[in-house]
Amino acid sequence: MKIFNWTNIRLVLIFGLVLFLYSFAQHRNGDRKLKKSIVVFVGENALFVKPETVNKLLIENKAEASSIRKDEV
């Protein structure tokens, strides 16, 4: 039985391509900067934190909120 037949070579190439595309997307999405932060609450229940409070905390803790990466928020 041959180990290096075309089926195995294609499977390895496809797996490598998928791995490359996944890592490329993760890297590119991680470096994306925020353009605008909008807080949306779902439901009409009594909320503990209001959207204005969240925006105020973001401004206080991150002075330049538009220049930080998404994963740092």
**Whole-prediction pTM:** 0.42
Rounded to 5°, angle at Cα 33 from 65 and 57: 20
* List of residues 6+ apart from 72 with CB closer than 8 A: 62
| Structure confidence at residue 41 (pLDDT) | 66
| Structure confidence at residue 73 (pLDDT) | 55
Phi–psi pair at 62, nearest 5 degrees: -125, 100
* List of residues 6+ apart from 60 with CB closer than 8 A: none
| Structure confidence at residue 51 (pLDDT) | 72
Strand partners, 33: 69
Q: What averages of pLDDT result for each successive group of 10 residues across the chain (73 residues)?
A: 81 96 88 72 68 75 63 58
pLDDT digits (tens, 9 = 90+) for 14-33: 999 999 999 999 888 877 77
